């Protein structure tokens, strides 16, 4: 991989990650067109996603700190016999929703790992994934349902979001787009 290709891939990752488009799908397309193959692709993709993770921590550090503090309160409540207190406050509820949404995502990722890896070997699954992303965004826009706050969310909503994120492991399907659709 040349320096120019690395810069282009980094720019695409940085621009695409927070939009409801698939940054992974776009990176896979560019890697295909640039003829980039091998282990360096995976290592570079991991570094790009690590950069994204760092930027998320920078932007949302206050929310993350609140969630971590609330986790310690949950542990304290469990040890003092007060229970989980799933509705005690919005931060605690959000933490539980994140955990619940992560479970189906993890199960899908583990069970279908080999299938998802195979999708990166040809352009057809990536193209289909991009079409699916466009379709779900179109549907989500047309549904125009009412907005729900954290207090109105149920655990079944978190499970649906988690399933949508699990499916979004497919290249071309946007994680943020599928999350918006699931929500």
pLDDT category of residue 114 using cuts at 50, 70 and 90: confident
Torsion sign (Cα): 67, 69, 73, 74: positive
- Residues of the chain above pLDDT 70, percent: 96
Q: Does residue 41 carry a pLDDT above 70? A: no
Identify whether residues 36 and 123 lie together within a single domain.
no
Domain count, the chain: 2
pLDDT band of residue 40 (cuts 50, 70, 90) is low
145: pLDDT strictly greater than 70: no
Are residues 47 and 69 both part of a single domain?
A: no
The pLDDT-based confidence of 104 (bands split at 50, 70, 90) is: very high
Examine the domain organization and report whether 94 and 163 are in the same domain: yes
As a whole number, the mean pLDDT across the chain is 85
What token pair was written down for 8?
């282009």
Same domain, 48 and 66: no
Neighbours of 14 (CB within 10 A): 14
Is the pTM higher than 0.75? The answer reads: yes
* Orientation angle between helical segments 3-16 and 23-34, nearest 10 degrees: 160
Residue 38 banded pLDDT, cuts 50, 70, 90? low
pLDDT at 17: 75
17 shares its domain with 83? no
- Report the alpha-carbon distance of residue 100 to residue 115 in Å, rounded: 24
More confident site: 42 or 86: 86
143 & 64 share domain: yes
Mark whether 39 and 101 lie in a shared domain: no
| Interacting residues of 6 by C-beta distance below 8 A, sequence separation 6+ | 44
| 101 and 68 fall within a common domain | yes
Residues 120 and 141 in one domain: yes
CA gap 180, 169 in Å, rounded: 15
Structural domain boundaries enclosing 17: 1-52
- % of the chain beyond a pLDDT of 90: 27
């Amino acid at each position: 991989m040349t320096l120019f290709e690395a810069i282009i891939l980094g720019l695409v990752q940085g621009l695409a990650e927070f939009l409801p488009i698939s940054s992974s799908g776009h990176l896979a397309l560019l890697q295909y067109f640039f003829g980039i193959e091998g282990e360096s692709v995976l290592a570079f993709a991991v570094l790009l996603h690590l950069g994204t993770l760092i930027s998320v921590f920078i932007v949302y550090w206050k929310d993350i700190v609140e969630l971590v503090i609330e986790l310690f309160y949950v542990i304290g409540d469990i040890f003092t016999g007060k229970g989980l207190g799933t509705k005690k406050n919005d931060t605690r509820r959000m933490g539980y929703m994140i955990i619940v949404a992560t479970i189906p995502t993890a199960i899908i990722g583990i069970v279908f790992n080999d299938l998802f890896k195979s999708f990166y070997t040809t352009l057809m699954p990536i193209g289909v994934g991009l079409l699916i992303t466009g379709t779900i965004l179109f549907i989500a826009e047309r549904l125009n349902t009412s907005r729900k706050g954290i207090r109105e969310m149920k655990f079944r909503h978190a499970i649906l979001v988690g399933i949508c994120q699990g499916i979004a492991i497919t290249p071309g399907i946007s994680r943020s787009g599928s999350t918006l659709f699931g929500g």
